[in-house]
Chain A
Amino acid sequence: MNNADESKLEQVLHRELRELPDLRAPATLAPRVLAALAARHRAPWWKKSWVDWPPGLRVAFLSLSLLVTGGLVYLGLQVPHVVGATALAGEVSATFTGWYASVEPYVSFVTRLTGALELVLKAAPASLWWGLAAVVGLAYATCIGLGTLGYRVAFNRM
Protein backbone atom coordinates (compact mmCIF):
# COMPACT_ATOMS: atom_id res chain seq x y z
CA MET A 1 0.00 0.00 0.00
CA ASN A 2 1.44 3.35 -1.04
CA ASN A 3 1.19 6.60 0.90
CA ALA A 4 -1.90 7.79 -0.97
CA ASP A 5 -3.71 4.54 -0.25
CA GLU A 6 -2.64 4.67 3.37
CA SER A 7 -3.91 8.21 3.69
CA LYS A 8 -7.19 7.30 2.02
CA LEU A 9 -7.60 4.28 4.27
CA GLU A 10 -6.99 6.50 7.28
CA GLN A 11 -9.64 8.98 6.15
CA VAL A 12 -12.21 6.35 5.29
CA LEU A 13 -11.70 4.39 8.48
CA HIS A 14 -11.70 7.57 10.56
CA ARG A 15 -15.04 8.56 9.10
CA GLU A 16 -16.53 5.09 9.51
CA LEU A 17 -15.25 4.70 13.07
CA ARG A 18 -16.48 8.12 14.14
CA GLU A 19 -19.92 7.29 12.82
CA LEU A 20 -20.18 4.26 15.07
CA PRO A 21 -22.88 4.76 17.69
CA ASP A 22 -22.13 4.29 21.36
CA LEU A 23 -22.48 0.77 22.67
CA ARG A 24 -25.30 0.19 25.08
CA ALA A 25 -24.03 -0.17 28.63
CA PRO A 26 -25.17 -3.38 30.33
CA ALA A 27 -28.33 -2.95 32.38
CA THR A 28 -26.39 -4.14 35.43
CA LEU A 29 -23.96 -1.21 35.38
CA ALA A 30 -26.09 1.42 37.13
CA PRO A 31 -27.27 -0.96 39.91
CA ARG A 32 -23.63 -2.00 40.41
CA VAL A 33 -22.50 1.58 40.85
CA LEU A 34 -25.37 2.37 43.22
CA ALA A 35 -24.66 -0.78 45.25
CA ALA A 36 -20.97 0.16 45.50
CA LEU A 37 -21.91 3.67 46.66
CA ALA A 38 -24.37 2.28 49.20
CA ALA A 39 -21.71 -0.09 50.54
CA ARG A 40 -19.33 2.83 50.85
CA HIS A 41 -21.94 4.82 52.79
CA ARG A 42 -22.54 1.89 55.12
CA ALA A 43 -18.83 1.42 55.88
CA PRO A 44 -17.78 2.63 59.38
CA TRP A 45 -15.88 5.91 59.48
CA TRP A 46 -12.56 4.28 60.33
CA LYS A 47 -12.70 2.22 57.15
CA LYS A 48 -13.12 5.32 54.99
CA SER A 49 -10.47 7.63 53.65
CA TRP A 50 -9.27 10.22 56.20
CA VAL A 51 -10.89 13.06 54.27
CA ASP A 52 -14.27 11.35 54.72
CA TRP A 53 -13.96 11.10 58.53
CA PRO A 54 -16.32 13.26 60.61
CA PRO A 55 -14.74 16.73 61.08
CA GLY A 56 -14.51 16.39 64.88
CA LEU A 57 -12.64 13.11 64.59
CA ARG A 58 -10.28 14.58 62.02
CA VAL A 59 -9.42 17.46 64.34
CA ALA A 60 -8.99 15.08 67.30
CA PHE A 61 -6.80 12.73 65.26
CA LEU A 62 -4.67 15.57 63.95
CA SER A 63 -4.24 17.03 67.46
CA LEU A 64 -3.38 13.65 68.95
CA SER A 65 -0.88 12.94 66.16
CA LEU A 66 0.78 16.30 66.72
CA LEU A 67 0.93 15.69 70.48
CA VAL A 68 2.44 12.23 70.09
CA THR A 69 4.98 13.39 67.50
CA GLY A 70 5.91 16.44 69.59
CA GLY A 71 6.23 14.28 72.69
CA LEU A 72 8.50 11.79 70.95
CA VAL A 73 10.72 14.55 69.56
CA TYR A 74 10.90 16.18 73.00
CA LEU A 75 11.81 12.88 74.66
CA GLY A 76 14.41 12.19 71.99
CA LEU A 77 16.03 15.52 72.70
CA GLN A 78 15.93 14.97 76.46
CA VAL A 79 17.46 11.46 76.55
CA PRO A 80 21.14 12.55 76.16
CA HIS A 81 20.73 15.05 79.01
CA VAL A 82 19.10 12.52 81.32
CA VAL A 83 21.43 9.57 80.66
CA GLY A 84 24.56 11.57 79.91
CA ALA A 85 26.16 11.62 76.46
CA THR A 86 29.24 9.52 77.42
CA ALA A 87 27.22 6.90 79.20
CA LEU A 88 24.87 6.71 76.21
CA ALA A 89 27.78 6.26 73.79
CA GLY A 90 29.21 3.50 76.01
CA GLU A 91 25.81 1.75 76.11
CA VAL A 92 25.42 1.90 72.33
CA SER A 93 28.97 0.66 71.78
CA ALA A 94 28.51 -2.24 74.21
CA THR A 95 25.23 -3.22 72.58
CA PHE A 96 26.77 -3.16 69.11
CA THR A 97 29.86 -5.13 70.20
CA GLY A 98 27.69 -7.80 71.80
CA TRP A 99 25.53 -8.05 68.69
CA TYR A 100 28.50 -8.18 66.34
CA ALA A 101 30.18 -10.97 68.36
CA SER A 102 27.15 -13.18 67.75
CA VAL A 103 27.22 -12.71 63.96
CA GLU A 104 31.00 -12.53 63.54
CA PRO A 105 31.45 -16.23 62.52
CA TYR A 106 28.91 -15.75 59.68
CA VAL A 107 30.56 -12.54 58.50
CA SER A 108 33.92 -14.32 58.48
CA PHE A 109 32.49 -17.25 56.50
CA VAL A 110 30.91 -14.96 53.88
CA THR A 111 34.17 -13.02 53.55
CA ARG A 112 36.17 -16.21 52.95
CA LEU A 113 33.56 -17.53 50.49
CA THR A 114 33.61 -14.24 48.55
CA GLY A 115 37.42 -14.39 48.36
CA ALA A 116 37.32 -17.95 47.04
CA LEU A 117 34.69 -17.04 44.44
CA GLU A 118 36.78 -14.09 43.34
CA LEU A 119 39.76 -16.41 42.75
CA VAL A 120 37.60 -18.80 40.73
CA LEU A 121 36.19 -15.96 38.66
CA LYS A 122 39.66 -14.67 37.84
CA ALA A 123 40.90 -18.13 36.88
CA ALA A 124 37.87 -19.12 34.72
CA PRO A 125 38.31 -18.82 30.91
CA ALA A 126 36.06 -16.46 28.90
CA SER A 127 34.56 -19.42 27.05
CA LEU A 128 33.00 -20.59 30.30
CA TRP A 129 31.05 -17.34 30.60
CA TRP A 130 29.90 -17.52 26.99
CA GLY A 131 28.78 -21.09 27.62
CA LEU A 132 26.89 -20.08 30.75
CA ALA A 133 25.25 -17.17 28.92
CA ALA A 134 24.20 -19.55 26.13
CA VAL A 135 22.68 -21.98 28.65
CA VAL A 136 20.77 -19.17 30.37
CA GLY A 137 19.57 -17.84 26.99
CA LEU A 138 18.48 -21.30 25.91
CA ALA A 139 16.63 -21.86 29.18
CA TYR A 140 14.88 -18.51 28.80
CA ALA A 141 13.91 -19.25 25.19
CA THR A 142 12.59 -22.67 26.27
CA CYS A 143 10.44 -21.02 28.95
CA ILE A 144 9.04 -18.54 26.43
CA GLY A 145 8.40 -21.32 23.92
CA LEU A 146 6.67 -23.55 26.44
CA GLY A 147 4.64 -20.59 27.74
CA THR A 148 3.51 -19.70 24.22
CA LEU A 149 2.65 -23.31 23.45
CA GLY A 150 0.74 -23.57 26.72
CA TYR A 151 -1.18 -20.37 25.95
CA ARG A 152 -2.07 -21.53 22.47
CA VAL A 153 -3.17 -24.95 23.65
CA ALA A 154 -5.10 -23.56 26.63
CA PHE A 155 -6.92 -20.95 24.56
CA ASN A 156 -7.14 -23.06 21.42
CA ARG A 157 -5.16 -20.56 19.37
CA MET A 158 -2.97 -22.90 17.35
Chain B
Amino acid sequence: MSDEHNFEAFMAAYQDMVFTTAMRLLGNSAEAQDISQEVFIKAYDRFAELSQSKTAGGWLKTVARNLCLNHLTRYRARWTFFSDLKRDDADDDNDFDVPADDTQSDDAELADKRQLLETALQKLPPAHRVPLVLYHFEDLSYEEIAARLKLSLAKVKTDIHRGREALRKKLKLDLEGELSGTVGAQAVRFQAGEAQT
Protein backbone atom coordinates (compact mmCIF):
# COMPACT_ATOMS: atom_id res chain seq x y z
CA MET B 1 0.00 0.00 0.00
CA SER B 2 1.41 3.44 -0.94
CA ASP B 3 2.01 6.23 1.52
CA GLU B 4 -0.88 8.11 0.01
CA HIS B 5 -3.27 5.26 0.71
CA ASN B 6 -1.82 4.74 4.15
CA PHE B 7 -2.42 8.39 4.94
CA GLU B 8 -5.99 8.17 3.70
CA ALA B 9 -6.57 5.20 5.97
CA PHE B 10 -4.93 7.10 8.82
CA MET B 11 -7.25 10.06 8.22
CA ALA B 12 -10.29 7.83 8.02
CA ALA B 13 -9.36 6.36 11.39
CA TYR B 14 -8.93 9.68 13.18
CA GLN B 15 -10.99 12.27 11.33
CA ASP B 16 -14.09 11.93 13.51
CA MET B 17 -12.05 12.35 16.70
CA VAL B 18 -10.17 15.39 15.35
CA PHE B 19 -13.31 16.99 13.96
CA THR B 20 -15.21 16.34 17.21
CA THR B 21 -12.46 17.96 19.29
CA ALA B 22 -12.49 21.02 17.06
CA MET B 23 -16.27 21.17 16.80
CA ARG B 24 -16.82 21.05 20.54
CA LEU B 25 -14.27 23.77 21.20
CA LEU B 26 -15.19 26.06 18.33
CA GLY B 27 -18.90 25.38 18.00
CA ASN B 28 -18.74 26.08 14.29
CA SER B 29 -18.56 23.43 11.59
CA ALA B 30 -16.69 25.51 8.99
CA GLU B 31 -14.02 26.56 11.47
CA ALA B 32 -13.79 23.02 12.82
CA GLN B 33 -13.15 21.74 9.30
CA ASP B 34 -10.44 24.36 8.75
CA ILE B 35 -8.72 23.36 11.96
CA SER B 36 -9.10 19.64 11.18
CA GLN B 37 -7.49 20.23 7.79
CA GLU B 38 -4.59 22.04 9.42
CA VAL B 39 -4.16 19.19 11.91
CA PHE B 40 -3.97 16.57 9.16
CA ILE B 41 -1.54 18.65 7.10
CA LYS B 42 0.73 18.82 10.14
CA ALA B 43 0.22 15.08 10.60
CA TYR B 44 1.20 14.47 6.99
CA ASP B 45 4.55 16.19 7.59
CA ARG B 46 5.22 13.77 10.45
CA PHE B 47 3.43 10.79 8.97
CA ALA B 48 6.48 8.54 8.89
CA GLU B 49 6.76 8.93 12.66
CA LEU B 50 3.03 9.01 13.46
CA SER B 51 2.13 5.94 11.42
CA GLN B 52 4.38 3.86 13.67
CA SER B 53 3.31 5.55 16.89
CA LYS B 54 0.75 4.18 19.31
CA THR B 55 0.10 7.68 20.61
CA ALA B 56 -0.84 9.16 17.24
CA GLY B 57 -4.40 9.73 18.46
CA GLY B 58 -3.18 11.66 21.49
CA TRP B 59 -0.84 13.72 19.33
CA LEU B 60 -3.66 14.59 16.92
CA LYS B 61 -6.00 15.51 19.76
CA THR B 62 -3.40 17.74 21.41
CA VAL B 63 -2.58 19.49 18.14
CA ALA B 64 -6.29 19.97 17.40
CA ARG B 65 -6.87 21.39 20.87
CA ASN B 66 -3.90 23.76 20.67
CA LEU B 67 -4.85 25.00 17.21
CA CYS B 68 -8.42 25.59 18.38
CA LEU B 69 -7.24 27.50 21.45
CA ASN B 70 -4.90 29.60 19.32
CA HIS B 71 -7.77 30.30 16.99
CA LEU B 72 -10.05 31.24 19.87
CA THR B 73 -7.39 33.41 21.50
CA ARG B 74 -7.02 35.30 18.24
CA TYR B 75 -10.71 36.18 18.41
CA ARG B 76 -10.86 36.41 22.21
CA ALA B 77 -12.04 40.01 22.32
CA ARG B 78 -14.97 39.20 20.10
CA TRP B 79 -16.22 36.08 21.81
CA THR B 80 -15.65 37.41 25.29
CA PHE B 81 -17.59 40.56 24.52
CA PHE B 82 -20.50 38.78 22.94
CA SER B 83 -20.52 35.94 25.43
CA ASP B 84 -22.92 37.73 27.72
CA LEU B 85 -25.46 38.31 25.02
CA LYS B 86 -28.28 35.86 25.19
CA ARG B 87 -28.13 33.17 22.55
CA ASP B 88 -31.62 31.80 22.14
CA ASP B 89 -31.88 31.24 18.44
CA ALA B 90 -30.83 28.09 16.68
CA ASP B 91 -27.51 28.13 14.88
CA ASP B 92 -28.04 25.88 11.92
CA ASP B 93 -24.50 25.58 10.68
CA ASN B 94 -23.89 22.36 12.56
CA ASP B 95 -24.03 20.08 9.56
CA PHE B 96 -22.70 17.07 11.39
CA ASP B 97 -24.46 13.88 12.30
CA VAL B 98 -24.51 12.14 15.59
CA PRO B 99 -24.39 8.46 14.74
CA ALA B 100 -27.28 6.44 16.09
CA ASP B 101 -26.05 3.35 17.83
CA ASP B 102 -28.78 0.79 17.33
CA THR B 103 -32.26 0.35 16.03
CA GLN B 104 -33.89 -0.69 19.28
CA SER B 105 -36.13 1.85 20.98
CA ASP B 106 -33.96 2.20 24.10
CA ASP B 107 -30.98 2.90 21.94
CA ALA B 108 -32.97 5.37 19.87
CA GLU B 109 -33.96 7.17 23.05
CA LEU B 110 -30.33 7.22 24.17
CA ALA B 111 -29.28 8.58 20.78
CA ASP B 112 -31.94 11.30 21.06
CA LYS B 113 -30.70 12.19 24.51
CA ARG B 114 -27.13 12.42 23.28
CA GLN B 115 -28.17 14.51 20.32
CA LEU B 116 -29.92 16.90 22.70
CA LEU B 117 -26.89 17.15 24.93
CA GLU B 118 -24.54 17.67 21.97
CA THR B 119 -26.79 20.38 20.54
CA ALA B 120 -27.14 22.08 23.92
CA LEU B 121 -23.38 22.03 24.33
CA GLN B 122 -22.86 23.59 20.90
CA LYS B 123 -25.30 26.36 21.73
CA LEU B 124 -23.54 27.49 24.86
CA PRO B 125 -21.76 30.83 24.50
CA PRO B 126 -18.05 30.30 23.75
CA ALA B 127 -17.02 31.82 27.09
CA HIS B 128 -18.91 29.02 28.88
CA ARG B 129 -18.45 26.21 26.38
CA VAL B 130 -14.68 26.41 25.93
CA PRO B 131 -13.68 25.97 29.60
CA LEU B 132 -16.44 23.38 30.06
CA VAL B 133 -15.14 21.31 27.13
CA LEU B 134 -11.54 21.64 28.33
CA TYR B 135 -12.57 20.43 31.77
CA HIS B 136 -14.89 17.57 30.86
CA PHE B 137 -13.47 16.33 27.56
CA GLU B 138 -9.83 17.35 27.62
CA ASP B 139 -9.25 16.54 31.29
CA LEU B 140 -7.57 19.84 32.09
CA SER B 141 -7.72 21.12 35.65
CA TYR B 142 -9.21 24.50 36.53
CA GLU B 143 -5.68 25.86 36.99
CA GLU B 144 -4.53 24.54 33.62
CA ILE B 145 -7.59 26.02 31.91
CA ALA B 146 -7.01 29.39 33.58
CA ALA B 147 -3.38 29.37 32.46
CA ARG B 148 -4.21 28.26 28.92
CA LEU B 149 -7.01 30.80 28.44
CA LYS B 150 -5.15 33.51 30.38
CA LEU B 151 -8.11 33.99 32.69
CA SER B 152 -8.34 34.12 36.45
CA LEU B 153 -9.11 30.90 38.30
CA ALA B 154 -12.32 32.43 39.69
CA LYS B 155 -13.50 33.39 36.20
CA VAL B 156 -12.87 29.88 34.89
CA LYS B 157 -14.82 28.34 37.77
CA THR B 158 -17.68 30.78 37.28
CA ASP B 159 -17.82 30.16 33.53
CA ILE B 160 -17.82 26.39 33.98
CA HIS B 161 -20.50 26.66 36.66
CA ARG B 162 -22.64 28.81 34.37
CA GLY B 163 -22.10 26.40 31.49
CA ARG B 164 -23.23 23.46 33.60
CA GLU B 165 -26.23 25.37 34.86
CA ALA B 166 -27.17 26.31 31.31
CA LEU B 167 -26.93 22.66 30.25
CA ARG B 168 -28.98 21.58 33.25
CA LYS B 169 -31.68 24.12 32.46
CA LYS B 170 -31.73 23.46 28.74
CA LEU B 171 -31.98 19.73 29.23
CA LYS B 172 -34.25 19.93 32.26
CA LEU B 173 -31.78 17.67 33.92
CA ASP B 174 -33.38 16.07 36.94
CA LEU B 175 -30.83 15.41 39.64
CA GLU B 176 -33.28 14.57 42.39
CA GLY B 177 -32.94 10.83 42.00
CA GLU B 178 -29.18 11.09 42.05
CA LEU B 179 -29.17 13.38 45.05
CA SER B 180 -31.56 11.31 47.12
CA GLY B 181 -29.91 8.10 46.03
CA THR B 182 -33.28 6.42 45.49
CA VAL B 183 -33.06 6.05 41.76
CA GLY B 184 -30.51 3.94 40.00
CA ALA B 185 -28.73 4.35 36.75
CA GLN B 186 -31.63 6.06 35.04
CA ALA B 187 -31.77 8.88 37.58
CA VAL B 188 -30.78 11.46 35.04
CA ARG B 189 -33.80 12.15 32.94
CA PHE B 190 -33.84 14.30 29.88
CA GLN B 191 -37.28 15.62 29.22
CA ALA B 192 -36.78 15.75 25.51
CA GLY B 193 -40.01 17.46 24.63
CA GLU B 194 -39.40 20.35 26.98
CA ALA B 195 -35.74 20.67 26.16
CA GLN B 196 -36.48 21.12 22.49
CA THR B 197 -38.73 24.13 23.12
Would you give the shortest CB distance from A112 to chain B, in whole angstroms?
41
Contact partner of B33 (CB less than 8 A), chosen from A16, A17, A26, is A26
A23 engages B97 (CB within 8 Å): yes
- When C-beta atoms are compared, the residue in chain B nearest to A19 turns out to be B114
**Given A1-B165, A21-B98, A34-B8, A28 and B173 contact (CB-CB distance below 8 Å):** no
Question: Could you tell me the distance between the alpha carbons of A5 and B177 in the complex, rounded to whole angstroms?
Answer: 12
**Given A13-B136, A24-B97, A33 and B179 contact (CB-CB distance below 8 Å):** no
Question: Could you tell me the distance between the alpha carbons of A34 and B8 in the complex, rounded to whole angstroms?
Answer: 8
B85 engages A148 (CB within 8 Å): yes
Q: How many A-B residue pairs have CB under 8 A?
A: 109
A25 engages B165 (CB within 8 Å): no
Tell me if A's interface is mostly helix, strand, loop or mixed: helix
Q: Residue A113 at the B interface, CB < 8 A?
A: no
Would you give the shortest CB distance from B77 to chain A, in whole angstroms?
12
- When C-beta atoms are compared, the residue in chain B nearest to A4 turns out to be B179
Complex interface: chain A residues within 8 A of B108 (CB) = none
Most buried by B among A6, A13, A14, A21: A13
A30 engages B33 (CB within 8 Å): no
Complex interface: chain A residues within 8 A of B165 (CB) = 1, 9
A23 engages B98 (CB within 8 Å): yes
Q: Residue A156 at the B interface, CB < 8 A?
A: yes
Chain A interfacial positions (CB closer than 8 Å to B): 1, 4-6, 8-10, 12-14, 16-26, 28-30, 32-34, 36-37, 40, 148, 151-152, 155-157
A-B contacts, 26 of them at CB < 8 A, read A1-B165, A6-B161, A8-B175, A9-B165, A9-B173, A13-B168, A20-B117, A21-B98, A21-B101, A22-B16, A22-B17, A22-B19, A23-B20, A23-B98, A23-B118, A24-B97, A25-B18, A25-B20, A25-B96, A26-B29, A30-B8, A30-B12, A32-B37, A36-B37, A157-B87, A157-B88
